[in-house]
């Protein structure tokens, strides 16, 4: 019998001892200072994001409630019971449906409006700074403050209904089961527009001017240039805007809580996060709240992956 | 041999370190929490009280009076930290282990949940615990017992909910401001129509139409208590409200919304103070708040209009909890008794206008009620109040009810009977869970 030697990986015979020495001599790698500088952020991420995320997944499989330190309480493993309870609750389904309506209105509107306005601002000669600040102010203003303005505009006797007169909806915007969520979606779109405009403005700086000149030479007008040069040129930014607006939209809480007083009318504006707040903090059942949270994370991840496929965004 | 010596030396070092750590922890424990040295449950304590102006003033004088007499057992007091609700702040403090010894303004709706969390001390375990509570509060104390008959809360004060009305608006509508017809539902509705149709008031009454779990305690529940002669929302582990009385009360409110006599839109501010409503459904705390309104008060209506001295209502009580994080519970119990003594209850009544949960209130403070006739009816009403469900799931029950009420009564999108029955089913289910 002849032993057949299997060829092993081709390695530089001299490199192994060097690597080994390096590993022994540099337990923190080649740039320990870099590790030192990034350590606080790593610790922050682990403590503030990773640990709570893992803990909430664990919590969703237990009969869990908050208790005083040292209190003897029983928190047995309940398997999928919390998920079964959550998925059999019509209020939970409705909240996911509500946030779906919100995203269908908010995300496309955010992308279109912020791109169009950013393109206009990029070309504006006069008052550019003033306009940029004007769009950005609602974003940096606390929701609690601007919600008051919208309540003034959209309540039954509000300015919008006074202008509309007999065309005003009945019941009014924020107490109308069909219109409450779209009104909230419009509010959030308006409030966050400034941030997304800034993202697009930055992206527009990277679109080569020569492409516009070439398009112009080829006889393309403004609209043709916009669709043939601007839109493809800012595709990575579009993906970012789509992802960010989806993630922030899925975490909707403040606006329905303040605009419609805790999710009314009839829960037509209750979001999953608002429901988590009610169940986890008000009703003392953080286990079911955690189950809603886990489902929400999975759904958002799924949507984000789908969006990445559809919108693209890779430079390659 | 050398190995043995090394091991011995290491063991000794470890023992020394362990001893130092233990001593350090013991010292740290002695100096934390209660805020002073602990001596068999006695020493300094910390308390939180409510943050409204009148109660802060009462709390400060109470603390000063105690501290002057007890130099070795001082109270450190502060207003309850700001949060979206005091129940959430207290729940967080329990979980964090930094709750103070006593919290004034502990809402009964949250007490069973706090008990389940291991956050409260069983007051019945003090030698004179149950007897003190029952002697002071009388029969009403039973509403604050848990299923085992123990007290995890000291019944403190109530704000029996009644109808406030704006005399000027009533006069402008051609109604008698001193004797308004508001006793029966028919009278109330006729008065409400007159107020709105005459243009004297934009709304007859304006309870908050929002969906927070506690809102039904200020529209449906007082009238349900009145209609049933004091039946609580949940009795013997089952919902009561899906009965004829519940439907009658719900239909009354539905009529007000349907005819535009009450608005289903959220109002930012105080509709009664702002002149947006001719009536409000509030407790005696409102007396000091509505100084600029020429108001009168009557009991909540019933379908047939029973006599005022027979009308029940919601208590809107706030109680005192002794929290398990307290290192000096003996002192805390003494402070609790001191702050609910006849003298301090009198001060509370005088400074805040809120009713101490004390039996024979009107007789005990007869002089006060003679001098302040506006409070007299609230004092009398104090004996006829009902409480929220006493269950760890009380908030979930109230939310289930509010969802159904909101849909059927405020927005009229579901049949009232079926909505109440659906809510009752959920409440029964929650009542069966621990």
Q: What is the DSSP string of B306-369?
A: --GGG--EE---EEEEEBTT-S-HHHHHHHHHHHTSHHHHHHHHHHH--EES-TTHHHHTHHHH
pLDDT at A19 over 60: no
**Cβ neighbours of A202 (radius 10 Å):** 12
- CA B245 to chain A, closest CA, distance in angstroms equals 23
Q: Do B403 and A91 touch (CB under 8 A)?
A: yes
Show which residues on chain A lie within 8 Å of chain B, measured between beta carbons: 65-73, 91, 148, 151, 155-156, 171-172, 174-175, 177, 260-267, 278-279, 281-285
Cβ atoms of A201 and A237 within 8 Å: the answer is no
- CA A71 to chain B, closest CA, distance in angstroms equals 5
Q: Mean pLDDT lowest for which of A199-208, A270-279, B204-213, B376-385?
A: B376-385
Higher pLDDT, A140 or B341: B341
DSSP states of A72-131 as a string? Answer: -----B-TTHHHHHHHT-HHHHHHHHHHHHHHHHHHHHHHHHHHHHHHHHHH--SSHHHH
pLDDT at A83 over 90: yes
Higher pLDDT, B84 or B284: B284
pLDDT at B9 over 50: no
Which of A121, A122, A112 lies closest to A227 in space, CA to CA? Answer: A112
Instruction: List, for residues B60-110, the tens digit of each pLDDT value.
Output: 999 999 999 999 999 999 999 877 788 889 999 999 999 999 999 899 999
A69: chain B residues, CB-CB within 8 Å: 95-97, 325
Q: Mean pLDDT lowest for which of A5-9, A219-223, B263-267, B311-315?
A: A5-9
- Cα–Cα distance for residue pair B115/B322, rounded to 1 Å: 11
pLDDT at B39: 59
Which of B279, B297, B274 lies closest to B287 in space, CA to CA? Answer: B297
Mean residue pLDDT of chain B comes to 90
pLDDT at B27: 36
**Cβ neighbours of A33 (radius 10 Å):** 8
DSSP-derived secondary structure letter, B188:
H
Where residue A266 falls among pLDDT bands split at 50, 70, 90?
confident
The mean pLDDT value for B249-260 works out to 97
What angle (nearest 5°) sits at the alpha carbon of residue B379, between those of residues B376 and B380? Answer: 90
pLDDT at A286 over 90: yes
pLDDT at B34: 42
- Cα–Cα distance for residue pair B416/B427, rounded to 1 Å: 16
Where residue B25 falls among pLDDT bands split at 50, 70, 90?
very low
Instruction: List, for residues A117-130, the tens digit of each pLDDT value.
Output: 999 998 876 777 88
Report CA Rg, chain A: 27
Contacts of A6 (CB under 8 A, 6+ apart): none
Instruction: List, for residues A209-264, the tens digit of each pLDDT value.
Output: 999 999 999 999 989 999 999 999 999 999 999 999 999 999 999 999 988 887 76
Instruction: List, for residues A38-72, the tens digit of each pLDDT value.
Output: 999 999 999 999 999 999 999 999 999 999 998 88
Record the tokens describing residue B388, joined without a space.
């929220």
Residues of chain B with pLDDT > 90: what percent? 78
pLDDT at A9: 45
pLDDT at B26: 37
pLDDT at B197: 97
Boundaries of every domain in chain A:
81-312
- What is the sign of the dihedral through the CA atoms of A16, A22, A28 and A33? negative
Higher pLDDT, B30 or B118: B118
Q: What pTM did the predictor assign? A: 0.85
Sort strands B45-49 and B313-314 into parallel, antiparallel or unpaired. Answer: unpaired
Record the tokens describing residue A97, joined without a space.
């449906």
The mean pLDDT value for B424-433 works out to 93
Where residue B377 falls among pLDDT bands split at 50, 70, 90?
confident
B396: chain A residues, CB-CB within 8 Å: 279, 283, 285
Residues of chain B with pLDDT > 70: what percent? 90
Show which residues on chain B lie within 8 Å of chain A, measured between beta carbons: 85, 87-88, 91, 94-97, 99, 113, 116-119, 208-213, 263-266, 268, 324-325, 392-393, 395-396, 399, 403, 406-407, 410-411, 413
- Cα–Cα distance for residue pair B33/B46, rounded to 1 Å: 8
A262: chain B residues, CB-CB within 8 Å: 210-212
* CA A211 to chain CA centroid, nearest Å: 32
Most A-contacting residue of B99, B210, B211 (CB-CB within 10 A), to test interface: B211
Instruction: List, for residues B301-319, the tens digit of each pLDDT value.
Output: 999 999 999 999 999 999 9
What CA–CA distances, in Å, run from B416 to A265, B227, B404, B425?
16, 17, 8, 14
The mean pLDDT value for A137-153 works out to 85
pLDDT at B326 over 90: yes
One CATH from 1.10.3720.10, 3.40.50.300, 3.40.1640.10, 3.40.50.720 for A81-312: 1.10.3720.10
Instruction: List, for residues B392-402, the tens digit of each pLDDT value.
Output: 999 999 999 99
Report CA Rg, chain B: 25
What angle (nearest 5°) sits at the alpha carbon of residue A128, between those of residues A126 and A129? Answer: 125
The mean pLDDT value for B162-180 works out to 97
B393: chain A residues, CB-CB within 8 Å: 283-284
């Amino acid at each position: 019998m002849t032993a057949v030697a299997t060829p092993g990986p081709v390695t530089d015979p001299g490199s192994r001892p060097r690597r080994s020495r390096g590993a022994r001599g540099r337990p923190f790698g080649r740039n320990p200072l870099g590790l030192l500088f990034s350590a606080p952020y790593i610790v922050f991420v682990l403590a503030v994001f990773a640990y709570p995320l893992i803990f909430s997944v664990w919590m969703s499989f237990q009969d869990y409630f908050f208790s005083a330190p040292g209190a003897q309480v029983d928190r047995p493993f309940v398997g999928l019971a919390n998920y079964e309870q959550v998925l059999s609750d019509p209020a939970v389904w409705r909240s996911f449906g509500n946030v779906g309506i919100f995203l269908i209105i908010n995300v496309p509107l955010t992308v279109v409006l912020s791109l169009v306005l950013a393109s206009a601002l990029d070309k504006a000669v006069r008052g550019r700074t003033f306009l940029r600040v004007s769009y950005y102010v609602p974003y940096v203003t606390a929701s609690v403050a601007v919600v008051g303005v919208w309540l003034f505009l959209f309540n039954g006797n509000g300015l919008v209904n006074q202008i509309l007169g007999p065309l005003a909806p009945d019941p009014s915007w924020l107490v109308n089961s069909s219109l409450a969520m779209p009104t909230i979606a419009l509010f959030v779109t308006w409030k966050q527009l400034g941030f997304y405009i800034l993202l697009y403005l930055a992206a527009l700086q990277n679109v080569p001017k020569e492409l516009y000149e070439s398009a112009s030479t080829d006889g393309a007008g403004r609209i043709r240039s916009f669709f043939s040069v601007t839109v493809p040129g800012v595709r990575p930014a579009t993906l970012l805007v789509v992802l960010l607006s989806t993630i922030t939209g899925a975490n909707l809480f403040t606006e329905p809580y303040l605009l419609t007083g805790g999710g009314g009318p009839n829960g037509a504006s209750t979001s999953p996060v608002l429901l988590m707040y009610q169940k986890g903090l008000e009703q003392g059942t953080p286990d079911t709240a955690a189950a809603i949270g886990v489902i929400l994370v999975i759904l958002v991840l799924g949507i984000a992956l789908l969006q990445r496929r559809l919108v693209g965004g890779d430079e390659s | 041999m050398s190995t043995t010596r090394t091991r011995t030396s290491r063991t000794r070092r470890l023992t020394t370190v362990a001893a130092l750590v233990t001593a350090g922890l013991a010292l740290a424990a002695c100096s934390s929490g209660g805020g002073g040295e602990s001596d068999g449950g006695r020493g300094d304590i910390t308390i939180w009280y409510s943050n409204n102006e009148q109660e802060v003033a009462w709390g400060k004088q109470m603390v000063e009076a105690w501290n002057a007499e007890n130099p070795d057992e001082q109270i450190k007091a502060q207003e309850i930290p700001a949060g979206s609700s005091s129940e959430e702040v207290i729940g967080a403090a329990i979980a964090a282990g930094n709750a103070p010894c006593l919290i004034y303004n502990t809402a009964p709706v949250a007490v069973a949940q706090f008990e389940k969390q291991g956050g409260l001390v069983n007051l019945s375990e003090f030698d004179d615990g149950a007897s003190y509570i029952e002697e002071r509060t009388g029969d009403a104390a039973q509403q604050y017992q848990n299923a085992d008959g123990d007290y995890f809360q000291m019944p403190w004060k109530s704000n029996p909910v009644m109808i406030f009305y704006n005399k000027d608006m009533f006069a402008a509508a051609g109604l008698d401001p001193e004797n308004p017809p508001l006793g029966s539902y028919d009278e109330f509705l006729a008065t409400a129509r007159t107020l709105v149709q005459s243009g004297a008031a934009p709304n007859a009454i304006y309870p908050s139409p929002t969906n927070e779990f506690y809102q039904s305690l200020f529209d449906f529940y007082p009238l349900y208590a009145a209609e049933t002669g004091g039946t609580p929302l949940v009795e013997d582990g089952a919902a009561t409200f899906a009965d004829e009385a519940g439907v009658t009360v719900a239909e009354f409110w539905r009529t007000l919304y349907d005819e535009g006599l009450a608005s289903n839109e959220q109002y930012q501010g105080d509709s009664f103070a702002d002149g947006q409503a001719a009536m409000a459904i509030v407790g005696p705390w409102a007396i000091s708040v509505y100084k600029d309104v020429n108001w009168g008060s009557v009991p909540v209506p019933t379908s047939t209009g029973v006599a005022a001295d027979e009308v029940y209502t919601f208590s809107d009580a706030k109680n005192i909890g002794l929290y398990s994080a307290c290192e000096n519970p003996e002192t805390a119990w003494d402070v609790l008794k001191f702050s609910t003594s006849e003298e301090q209850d009198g001060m509370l009544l005088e400074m805040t206008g809120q009713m101490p949960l004390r039996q024979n209130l009107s007789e005990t403070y007869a002089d006060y009620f003679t001098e302040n006739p506006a409070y007299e009816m609230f004092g009398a009403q104090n004996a006829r109040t009902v409480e929220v469900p006493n269950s760890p799931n009380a908030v979930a029950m109230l939310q289930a009810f509010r969802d159904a009420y909101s849909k059927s009564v405020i927005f009229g999108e579901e049949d009232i009977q079926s909505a109440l029955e659906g809510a009752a089913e959920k409440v029964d289910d929650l009542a069966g869970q621990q």
